[in-house]
Chains A and B, each alone.
Chain A
């Protein structure tokens, strides 16, 4: 058991190191930060001096080494763009992204399960087919266009919801939340729908397929034969058995919601880490890009690791494998 965990954690650390290496190898292709950091009147001497100060004249392997060295001490450097510690900036921006991800994840889960059940039970009904088709419209257009269309309809034409930002936020112990004000909640609606639409369609289809499969199982047929009420069968027996894979998948999708947030945040000027990352790319803010990518990697690798370890705890066969591998 211990050997397996150690091996698995070691693999995860290796993944992180490789991620960082790939990231640093591409930064030089994003552009030259010095161009953005110095004004029109700069001289060649200024450019060379700054480049040397930032260590940009070094090969990327050296830059990466320096980054790792500092990161190991919890120091991600100063943002080229804002001149503030990257860790502070990320800590400021993370609540916005996490709240948005949580709301859209919840929306996707609830909508997905609800519509999934409905479309499974009424498989051949008109309503179910309309829902199935309509939900696909949402994933058949690029996210940025859906966001802009929602803004056009609900902010410009109807004037119901704000078009940008988070509204008023309340700060509680370093965490800013939009959940406690009316304008904060209103501001969440459009971005959460934009971000959650794709996941909702995904979950809905998953629930539907699982439900359909379970409904054909012998024990459900048996329950039906015993004269149990349809509702009891659908919800007590069938749904229970579909939820395990659904929740697993949703957990794994959380990471991709945060990655996709890049687009949604750009369209809605949502002050989260995705927008920060896009700004960092435009400015070639290497410390911010590096820290963001490492953060995302840690998140993905962490989720994977937890899932694997859970499986390990549940599935005895893996345990034997693990032992064999350990020796």
Chain B
């Protein structure tokens, strides 16, 4: 009898495998919107999917590109438009099917379809074909030296599985039918889906056939993911020990977490810069008469009036890095000098404004989100005070992001807050979206009316420049141009904080993208 029980117990431990039966209870403010890997290009959605699916090339917590489903990649010496990717062998999907070149062709083509939200990231891809069981060739529209950097969020799914379950097309909300892939997963990732109730709970367990089972920390055998929206409740859940690991930690609570012997914080500069955009056009949207913001000197004065140190110390509790340029650190093109914060302070700013003929001040409306960035509303409030000190009266219009962003994109704001992350880790991405004249494919997030033909031309030129040194020189020149026009008023780079029980060994990642396979458990 006793022997029998002992045997049963041994069998149980054996089935659990090498990884110990540790469960990571993970919470953040919002849930993933879908499990369809190509339907939503959104942070929490991608973060959850990265546990279960993988790209060809992964960005690891250190921010470097790492071989995932592709072991090797190179551009053809004869034709800069053609890339060859060698695929990892012996990789299995969760349902046991083999991962082959066919699946890559299928997944990338799926990500390029009209309903895919990922097509913008890989818009440079012209075609993809299988050149062997474990080799694919990707042809780009013109040379693209940064193709691998565009791939870390393009996740691979099984072609046969998608066809068998009638989920070849990306989820299309208007189509009226829910797609199989939005609720089910068959990836190659380290964890497989156990159950999911949207907005409530998602459970995952380790995938026995994972190719990297021995290569990564893999400290946890199970993951329970719960969204907790209200910040105080989320903190309460951590303090009371109901969850082990949380994202979206309010900056004011860091001190208490640090003083708790059972908890700890892991932080890293985030891939997101926060700034104000200014309407540099001829007329104000909200207001009469001449647009003071059209004058670069006025913009410079406003730039000087922002006390970034005070915002960092008080509003952000030290959890930010004052910014002099709207580019996160570690993006290609960044340097300390560019990031120099404008000097001067209130008196100099006032003098500058006086000189520009606006010594009596003016009134402008600041549009600000109140549910998007860390302490967004409080930063805007602080800015209202700082502008008041140089005689600029600011009316604050703080509202939810769903109402804020249409103002920016519809050119309906004179003065707005925006945050920007650079998934490609290259300056081109910033210039493309924020500095180029607003057109159909370029300048889509440029809400300033700024239009500089010379800069526009260079933006198109660097996209095709294969000589990386030459390209970097061009980027440096472009930043000089952009900075001297002061279209944007940089505020700071966000700092990312993850809070967890002291036993959790988490590798924080600048994109706020959790990858539990790198986590250790104590």
Binding site for B on A (CB under 8 A): 30-33, 35-47, 49-50, 53-55, 75, 77-85, 89, 92, 148, 151-152, 155-156, 159, 162-166, 266-269, 271, 275-276, 278-279, 282-284
Contacts and interface: CB of A to CB of B under 8 A. Distances in A.
B200 A39 contact: no
Nearest to B171: A83
Contact of A53 (B36, B174, B405): B174
Contact of A40 (B182, B229, B441, B445): B445
15 contacts: A32-B405, A40-B433, A41-B121, A46-B120, A47-B409, A50-B174, A78-B174, A78-B177, A79-B173, A83-B33, A159-B241, A267-B230, A278-B229, A282-B400, A282-B401
Contacts of B400: 31, 282
Given A41-B41, A43-B440, A164 B198 contact: no
Contact of A37 (B173, B227, B242): B173
B240 A78 contact: no
Interface stretch (B53-61, B208-216, B231-239, B484-492): B231-239
A282 B178 contact: no
B232 A32 contact: no
Contacts of A267: 230, 232-233
B236 A33 contact: no
A256 B209 CA distance: 52
B40 interface: yes
Contacts of A89: 198
Contacts of B41: 38-41
B207 to A, nearest CB: 25
Contact of A82 (B33, B174, B402): B33
B178 A78 contact: yes
A279 B440 contact: no
A286 to B, nearest CB: 11
Contacts of A37: 40, 117, 173
B199 A151 contact: no
Contacts of A50: 174
Nearest to A44: B440
Contacts of A282: 371, 400-402
Nearest to B422: A40
Contacts of B241: 159
Given A84-B198, A267-B233, A283-B402, A43 B173 contact: no
A41 B42 CA distance: 11
A36 B34 CA distance: 13
Contacts of B262: none
Contact of A269 (B120, B228, B409): B228
Contact of A164 (B174, B178, B228, B445): B228
Interface of B: 33-34, 36, 39-42, 114, 117-118, 120-121, 123, 171-179, 182-183, 197-201, 226-230, 232-234, 236-237, 239-242, 371, 400-403, 405-406, 409, 421, 433, 440-441, 444-445
A93 to B, nearest CB: 8
A159 B228 CA distance: 18
Nearest to A267: B230
B233 A148 contact: yes
**Most chain B C-beta atoms within 10 Å of own C-beta, residue among A49, A162, A164:** A164
A1 B23 CA distance: 64
Given A39-B41, A44-B440, A269-B228, A162 B174 contact: no
A282 B404 CA distance: 12
Contacts, number: 153
Contact of B402 (A31, A53, A276): A31
Given A55-B174, A165-B200, 5 more contacts: A37-B40, A40-B120, A78-B174, A85-B178, A266-B230
Contacts of B199: 82, 271, 275-276, 279
Given A31-B402, A84-B182, A43 B236 contact: no
A81 B199 CA distance: 11
A84 B515 CA distance: 27
Contacts of B233: 148, 151, 163-164, 267-269
Given A37-B173, A54-B173, A84-B178, A92 B402 contact: no
B122 to A, nearest CB: 10
B39 A83 contact: yes
A49 B371 CA distance: 27
Nearest to A70: B176
A156 B253 CA distance: 14
Contact of B120 (A42, A165, A279): A42
A295 B34 CA distance: 25
A139 to B, nearest CB: 21
Given A53-B174, A269-B228, A269-B229, A164 B33 contact: no
Given A271-B197, A275-B199, A38 B406 contact: no
A271 B31 CA distance: 12
Nearest to A159: B240
**What are the 9 closest A-B residue pairs judged by CB atoms, nearest first?**
A41-B120, A31-B402, A39-B41, A53-B174, A163-B236, A31-B403, A271-B200, A32-B406, A35-B405
Contacts of A275: 199, 229
A174 to B, nearest CB: 13
Given A84-B198, A163-B236, A35 B173 contact: no
Contacts of B114: 49
Contact of B444 (A44, A92, A162): A44
A155 B239 CA distance: 9
Contacts of B42: 39
**Most chain A C-beta atoms within 10 Å of own C-beta, residue among B118, B120, B402:** B402
A44 to B, nearest CB: 5
A38 B117 CA distance: 6
A157 to B, nearest CB: 9
A228 to B, nearest CB: 53
A171 B441 CA distance: 49
A80 B40 CA distance: 11
A54 B2 CA distance: 65
Contact of B178 (A54, A83, A278): A83
A39 B402 CA distance: 13
Contacts of B178: 78, 83-85
B176 A78 contact: yes
Nearest to A158: B240
A31 B409 CA distance: 13
Contacts of B117: 37-39, 42
Contact of A30 (B172, B236, B371, B403): B403
A151 B120 contact: no
Nearest to B445: A40
Contacts of A54: 173-174
A79 B405 CA distance: 21
Contacts of B406: 31-32, 35
Contacts of A41: 41, 120-121, 123, 433
A85 B173 CA distance: 10
A159 B120 CA distance: 48
Contacts of A77: 176
Nearest to B123: A41
A53 B232 CA distance: 39
A282 B172 CA distance: 21
